[in-house]
Amino acid sequence: MFGFGRKKPNDGGEEHRYYLLPGMGRSNRRRHNLIFMWSIIGGVVGSALIGVAIWLINR
């Protein structure tokens, strides 16, 4: 009554199921975060090396 009742199961008593596509799981998110972190670190280190090289050339 008024939305507080228990939902009736669908055909054959099976509940609603959902499926994750490849790349939507928790482990994949963790892997993407790791790759993102290392790419940020690599960008900072690469920029610092190029900056030092330009500074040495102009010195």
- Give the type of residue at 41: I
Question: Whole-angstrom Cα distance, residue 28 to residue 37?
Answer: 14
Q: Is the pTM of this model over 0.95?
A: no
The string of pLDDT tens digits covering residues 16-51 is: 677 777 777 788 889 999 999 999 999 999 999 999
Question: Mapped to the 3 state alphabet, what secondary structure does 1-59 carry?
Answer: CCCCCCCCCCHHHCCCCCCCCCCCCHHHHHHHHHHHHHHHHHHHHHHHHHHHHHHHHHC
Question: Whole-angstrom Cα distance, residue 51 to residue 58?
Answer: 11
Chain CA centroid to CA 1, Å: 40
Binning pLDDT at 50, 70 and 90, where does residue 56 land?
A: very high
